[in-house]
Structure 1
């Protein structure tokens, strides 16, 4: 211990000598010289960032208070999953509101009760779906079951999150059973393939996938189409070596395409009117009808090709439609 104390005293002594030997006139000259630059950096970066952090924190505080009764009831009931789920919903709701100005047009098309199948276009990362999922929880008091790609269940560290959000790899029988139990189920037929290999032209890439239509027919439930404006401008996949990455994906199912972005673009989700159950349609016909509906929503609501610059400017434009 004695050598540690000796070392501390020696360090303090050297520091004192260094301060005593400082040329204060030289330091004052350096500060005078760099003062304008320091003020510029402080004004341009640090202060705005501080304001953003404070604004985000204040908004989060307001959202928590707005939903505190639901949160507290879940905690008091010792329902840890429900309490954690609602806390995350509040966090994502706040993030969507601040970072992307997220809105929903047509939330009333989500039924308050009863089974339904939500089908949506898959962006590079489905953050728009996260926002919708949480809004449905907070404003419709419904928990949507989620069908996700099987590779997610192999990613270390996601088990608890997938369990809390009741994510399933979704076999046909499992999906039908969930719907018959009165749940709402969400599926993106394009999945990872659409996420990685669609682009700013918003091509719907479903291939031969008609499983969701078979599920809807067997469960005899309506299909609700969903599309989010500018969803591919928020995050994008690198456009280089697409054929190579597509070949690797088709052979291995590994999503190796790099993703970049998280740009603060305007996200506006459109929930279409339900496609009611029609026993006269085959699964393939129902699939094509749903795909056509989503493509019509893209043509109507999305600037093509998508533009990150214009999508950011959309934050300052308004649309005369009912939003949530």
Structure 2
């Protein structure tokens, strides 16, 4: 109930008024059943505008820190994040990471839409970075398609490091679902999971028009300045060569 109140009564009308969001490819989101929405990640506001523009409820995993702060402020923050459809995920260790993946699989098997950022963190400079294979593992185990999603303008509306949001047109572009049922039962195979992840990242690159960088965004943030060259995959590359692994 709180999710729909936030979407249609409290937060949603404000976002529509100031940011004039629009969506393309909504027909690619199934009306029922589980599916994994894999989006590029430009700003925190990505997790607000994508659920706003898709009629079905979308659940995003969020850092457990957002839900554990004590006091009145902590209660308000917890209420807010629950209201925008986020679930707490503990990512503090290997066991916690597996628990996070298990949670996403359970939600997908329950027929829900789950949003995920395969880059693992926000892009530090607007480029598209190497995807993490947990996305593929979850999709294979749950037996659901992966739907690529490109966000545009959220980094202008909600710049990294800024506590303010600025009115700027937002666009959401949803690509065609990617069916990996041919790999059913092969979750846990690192080669298969990397192949699937690279295919999704290739589609995201084509959908968003972003420049692709063949390193993890988290590593870029750890090491500055970065001298790793960017790498763009030719549009006519064969499927097996879609994105360098």
TM value normalised by structure 2 = 0.68
Which residue of the partner structure matches residue 264 of structure 1?
A: 167
Aligned mate of 2:62, from 136, 144, 148: 148
8 A Cα contact 2:42 2:155, kept in partner: yes
Which residue of the partner structure matches residue 180 of structure 1?
A: 109
1:43-192 to 2 correspondences below 5 Å: 82=1, 84-90=2-8, 91-125=10-44, 127-136=45-54, 140=55, 142-155=56-69, 156-157=74-75, 158-164=77-83, 165-169=85-89, 171-191=100-120
Per the TM alignment, residue 268 of structure 1 is displaced from its structure 2 partner at its CA by: 0.8
8 A Cα contact 2:47 2:60, kept in partner: no
Identify which range, 266-275 or 166-175, moves more after superposition: 166-175
8 A Cα contact 1:114 1:183, kept in partner: yes
Q: Which has the higher strand share?
A: 2
- For the residue of structure 2 that corresponds to 1:104, the secondary structure is strand
How many residue pairs get matched?
Answer: 188
TM value normalised by structure 1 = 0.53
CA gap of 1:128–1:94, structure 2 versus 1, over 3 A, is farther
Deviations 1:141-196 (A, max 9, x none): x22222123332344232223344351316122211221121111111234x325x
8 A Cα contact 1:118 1:184, kept in partner: yes
Q: Which has the higher helix share?
A: 1
Which residue of the partner structure matches residue 37 of structure 1?
A: none
8 A Cα contact 1:128 1:267, kept in partner: no
CA distance in 1, matches of 2:82, 2:169: 30
8 A Cα contact 1:144 1:184, kept in partner: yes
Give the gaps of 5 or more residues in structure 1.
1-81, 238-257, 301-324
Higher relative contact order, chain-length normalized (CA < 8 Å, sep 6+) = 2
Say which one has the larger Rg: 1
Instruction: Tell whether 2:192 aligns with 1:282.
Output: yes
